[in-house]
Amino acid sequence: MSDPLGTPGSPKSLPLILARELASNLATPMFLLDAGGMLVFYNDAAAILLGRSFAELGEIPSGEFGEALQLATPDGEPVRRRDSPAGVAFFERRPAHETLLATAYDGVRRQYEATAYPLIGAAGEMHGVVAVFWEGAPGERNG
Amino acid sequence: MRARVWGCRGSVAVPGADTVKYGGNTSCVEVRLSSGHALVLDAGTGMRPLGVVMQDDLPVELHILLTHLHLDHLQGLGFFRPLYSAALDIHIWGPMSPVQHLSERIAMYLSPPLFPVRLEDVPSHLTFHDAPEEPVTIGSATIRAAKVTHQGPTVGYRIEEEGRVLVYLPDHEPSLGTDLLTLPAAWISGHDIARGADVLLHDAQYRDHEYGAHVGWGHSSIAATMEFARKADVDTVILFHHDPYHTDIELEELLAEAQGKWPGMEDRVRLAYEGMMIVLDSEVKV
């Protein structure tokens, strides 16, 4: 189901623009959600983990992105969108960290350490979420 | 609307024989609306001579729109004679801070020991506002601000009246950490407020060969300014916030460099100078 919020290609706020510029210059995998819950960017380091570049994927609702990744706990329990670090940062406006399993677009399921925090502006307004991933235990291929 | 440039120098005022043609006063632009309201874009040292003229013809209402509080955008405020007119309502707009009200931040300059008069003691009636990120109506104009890339909280302003658009981005480094040539427009700082402007007053502090030593200082190279304006589909670009070390001769070399990036459209690229008039009516005259 697609997220009704967020408009692909719509003008981005300065905190989001600066976060993207930071992400673009880092070797740490980093994702950005906008204030409407759209996945609006991930960097090349994240693309390596995901098996697909952001240019190929484009902006998509974060819910759709989460479903594609099949997020789960290290025990294999599915993780609801709002319980993932990005979901907590988005819905509860606080930082969060979890160890997660996720399946990349190339079919490889890997364990990640994921940290997310909200981008909250000077007036308390929400600009989006930054999510940073580190690969954890060695990956295994599905099936 | 009609705009007049009273100061277009960046960083610090530089009076002298080498800067007499384009001027040495720091950022200040007067905008007169058809409704009789007056806007003043930034309060650099150009605000002092503006105040001398304005005190004899006070507007019905005066709005000072500050892009940020660096001293070259604020120093003229204390020398602006209408500030001492008890009959005048002055609205001051500026970037918001989560920790300190705009009036408190301005009072850090307008108070001893930096200035003999306290902001709270000036006779005019002052009202402070956060720069409007949603459109607000002032007289016959609609004003909108947006945060932009500079050092510290900084905004640019878009002023629309009767279908004409003037955009003011005097301190802006949209190319910081990125390549404007390949960056989608939605991700470019300031693009949303600059889009489709009839006239854009934009930071043009550095020639391209100078920019490398100043990355991250919050100002633009000529290449970045012209690419930003191209992507924003701006009609006329006015190069603003001249480097204090650029003489009149060097500014004209800088202009040629900028015009070379818009071949065939050279007349749409201009250098700001003190006294420059910009008319945005049924037609635009610069």
For B31, what's the count of Cα atoms within 13 Å in the CB-facing half-sphere?
30
- Judged by CB atoms closer than 8 Å, whether chains meet at B98 and A124 is answered as yes
- Judged by CB atoms closer than 8 Å, whether chains meet at B149 and A124 is answered as no
List C-alpha distances in Å: B37 to A126, B61, B273, B281: 34, 5, 24, 16
- Judged by CB atoms closer than 8 Å, whether chains meet at B148 and A14 is answered as yes
Mutate to test the interface with A, among B97, B187, B231 (most CBs of A within 10 A): B187
Give the minimum alpha-carbon distance from B265 to chain A in angstroms, rounded to a whole number.
28
Total Cβ atoms within 10 A of residue B126: 17
CATH number of A14-141: 3.30.450.20
The residue-averaged pLDDT of A63-76 equals: 92
Residues of B in contact with A120 (CB under 8 A): none
Is the CB of A26 inside 8 Å of chain B's CB atoms? no
Closest CA to B134 of A8, A118, A13: A13
Residue A6: predicted pLDDT: 38
Is the CB of A55 inside 8 Å of chain B's CB atoms? no
Fold of B2-285: Metallo-beta-lactamase; Chain A (3.60.15)
Residue A98: predicted pLDDT: 96
In tens, the pLDDT along A122-142 reads: 889 999 999 999 887 554 444
Q: What is the pLDDT along chain B (286 residues), one digit of tens a residue?
A: 999 999 999 999 999 999 999 999 999 999 999 999 999 999 999 999 999 999 998 998 899 999 999 999 999 999 999 999 998 999 999 999 888 899 999 999 999 999 999 999 999 999 999 999 999 999 999 999 999 999 889 999 999 999 999 999 999 999 998 899 999 999 999 999 999 999 999 999 999 999 999 999 999 999 999 999 999 999 999 999 999 999 999 999 999 999 999 999 999 999 999 999 999 998 899 9
| pTM for this prediction | 0.89
3-state secondary structure of B13: coil
Q: Which residues contact B202 (CB under 8 A, 6 or more apart)?
A: B167, B169, B170, B172, B194, B220, B225, B228, B229, B237, B238, B239, B240
pLDDT at A3 over 50: no
Is the CB of A73 inside 8 Å of chain B's CB atoms? no
Token pair 């580190």: residue: A134
Q: Show me where the domains of chain A are located.
A: 14-141
| Chain B residue closest in CA terms to A17 | B187
Is the CB of A12 inside 8 Å of chain B's CB atoms? yes
Tokens of B225: 């300014």
Nearest-by-Cβ selection for A11 from B148, B178, B191: B191
Residues of A in contact with B146 (CB under 8 A): 14
φ, ψ of residue B223 in degrees (nearest 5): -60, -45
Is the CB of A53 inside 8 Å of chain B's CB atoms? no
- Judged by CB atoms closer than 8 Å, whether chains meet at B187 and A122 is answered as no
